[in-house]
Amino acid sequence: MRARTFQLASLLLTYPDEELLAAAPELRAAAAGNEPITAFLDWLLGTPLIDCQRHYVQTFDLRRRSGLYLTYYLHGDTRKRGMALLVLKQRYRAHGLTLAGGELPDLLPVVLEFAAVAGPGDGEAPLRQHRQGLELLRSALSESGSPYRELLEAVCAILPPLTGDDLAAITALAVDGPPVESVGVSVEGYK
């Protein structure tokens, strides 16, 4: 059930197209018994494709609060993010997963695919490490009323429960936003 949920969420968090919709019978069969994913499929398959595509772009491409790149939530656009991306890429390589050309390793569908293939231990480690980002994304999708929230609900329900420290860190990150780096900028010159 874990691997199937991660695999379905990975597939359904990609840009919706004709090929995805053509797989509707297989998707419905694979989602049987998983209420959040079934609810998402009801929306996806009952909405005109152009509207689904528009919603996807507005949700994930035009809003920073609901981006699909997990390391951004924790590291912002800093050098630490570059290191986190490298570590993810090395982890994937060690398990035989290669990325499609130009795909970043922290893209949520990629992280979910890895979790499905590599399993609960090493495979789910990136999801646990980026749990704060997942929760912020889930929260942003819920606040905006996006049907994609159902997919995040299904994924987060499988992961270990949040601790008090997790909740405090998520709250702080929600208030402060991702870290920023001001390397090479002189504050004195801007008085």
Q: What is the pLDDT along the chain (191 residues), one digit of tens a residue?
A: 899 999 999 999 999 999 999 999 999 999 999 999 999 999 999 999 999 999 999 999 988 889 999 999 888 888 889 899 999 999 999 998 888 778 899 999 999 999 999 988 899 999 999 999 999 999 999 999 999 999 999 999 999 988 888 888 888 878 777 767 645 444 444 34
Q: What whole-number distance in Å separates Cα of residue 176 and Cα of residue 20? A: 37
Helices (H) then strands (E): counts for the chain: 12, 0
Give yes or no for a contact between 147 and 44, defined as CB atoms under 8 angstroms apart.
yes
Residue with tokens 């990136």: 126
Half-sphere exposure at residue 1, Cβ-oriented, CA atoms within 13 angstroms = 10
Q: What whole-number distance in Å separates Cα of residue 82 and Cα of residue 116? A: 24
Q: Which residues contact 29 (CB under 8 A, 6 or more apart)?
A: none
In order of 36, 55, 69, 82, the CA distances from 177 in angstroms are 28, 24, 14, 18
Task: Indicate the pTM of the whole model.
Answer: 0.89
Number of C-beta neighbours around residue 188 at 10 A: 5
Give yes or no for a contact between 28 and 41, defined as CB atoms under 8 angstroms apart.
yes
